[in-house]
């Protein structure tokens, strides 16, 4: 297995595999997703390097978590521009901002969520067109999916479930990591997040996930 760089993004962030970078709209959600992936990778015997950048969040920016996974020794957690195997975004504009971190063969998995905090915030159509110009993109309406399934505060777990098909970690390992990360939150929170993850993991065959890109037909392919 080569080193994988991955990135999860929300209101500011990155995600990559060989190096994995994760960012979310809310920092706690980003860090939780990053902790689950890194915990599952460690349990699977992989070498893991992770770093969380919290400073920008204190000044109105996003939280970014870089995560690298490999079956060989890794010396740095950081993922550079043009290196990410996966960019995972929980906010549409922020996903667009971090597209430059994708490698030539990288993939984007993003939420349709838009936090319109700017007067000149682009339209959904503009953002979708920007995303669709290059690498393959899976776009998931995680908020509507959460409401439909009566799941709250777990958008990151739904999207992580969608992303699980593209991670070098087994589904069971990821599921087993969720209770460890949320154990202090109680059984109800653990159950809620496991349910959200499961729904996302089955999302590739659902209508809340679509594929966009230059050669896409809208049908999701792995």
Write out pLDDT tens, residues 108-129: 888 887 776 667 888 878 888 8
Q: Between 14 and 84, where is the model more confident?
A: 84
Residue range 13-20: mean pLDDT, rounded: 31
Distance CA 196, CA 193 (A): 5
| Percentage of residues in the chain having pLDDT higher than 70 | 77
Q: How far is CA 167 from the centre of its chain?
A: 11
Residue 78 in 3-state DSSP?
A: coil
Domains of the chain in sequence order: 4-212 (3.40.920.10)
Please give the model's pTM, rounded to 2 decimal places.
0.82
Residue 161, Cβ density class (10 Å: 0-12 exposed, 13-18 middle, ≥19 buried)? buried
Neighbours of 130 (CB within 10 A): 16
Residue 164 near residue 203 (C-beta atoms within 8 A) = no
The pLDDT value recorded for residue 58 is: 46
Q: Is the pLDDT confidence value at 217 over 50?
A: no
Q: How far is CA 119 from the centre of its chain?
A: 26
Span 25-82, pLDDT tens digits: 445 677 888 899 999 999 999 988 888 776 554 445 566 778 888 888 888 877 888 8
Q: Is the pLDDT confidence value at 218 over 60?
A: no
Residue carrying structure tokens 């996966």: 86
Q: What confidence tier does 196 reach under pLDDT thresholds 50, 70, 90?
A: very high
How large is the angle between the packed helices 155-163 and 27-43, nearest 10 degrees? 40
Residue carrying structure tokens 């962030």: 13
- The two tokens of residue 221 are 């392919």
Residue 96 near residue 44 (C-beta atoms within 8 A) = no
DSSP 132: T
Could you give the maximum distance between any two Cα atoms of the chain, in Å? 47
């Amino acid at each position: 297995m080569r080193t994988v760089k991955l990135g999860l993004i929300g209101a500011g962030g990155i995600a990559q595999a060989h190096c994995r970078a994760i960012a979310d709209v809310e920092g706690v959600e980003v860090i939780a997703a990053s902790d689950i992936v890194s915990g599952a990778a460690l349990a699977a015997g992989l070498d893991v390097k992770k770093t969380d950048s919290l400073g920008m969040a204190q000044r109105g920016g996003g939280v970014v978590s870089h995560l690298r996974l490999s079956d060989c020794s890794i010396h740095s957690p950081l993922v550079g521009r043009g290196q990410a195997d996966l960019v995972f975004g929980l906010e549409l504009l922020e996903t667009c901002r971090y597209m430059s971190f994708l490698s030539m063969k990288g993939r984007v998995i993003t939420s349709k969520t838009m936090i319109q905090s700017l007067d000149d915030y682009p339209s959904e159509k503009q953002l979708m067109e920007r995303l669709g110009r290059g690498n393959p993109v899976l776009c998931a309406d995680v908020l509507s999916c959460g409401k439909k399934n009566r799941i709250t505060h777990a958008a990151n777990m739904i999207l992580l479930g969608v992303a699980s098909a593209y991670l070098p970690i087994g589904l069971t390992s990821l599921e087993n990591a969720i209770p460890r990360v949320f154990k202090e939150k109680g059984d109800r929170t653990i159950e809620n997040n496991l349910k959200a993850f499961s729904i996302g993991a089955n999302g590739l065959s659902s209508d809340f996930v679509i594929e966009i890109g230059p050669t896409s037909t809208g049908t999701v392919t792995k």
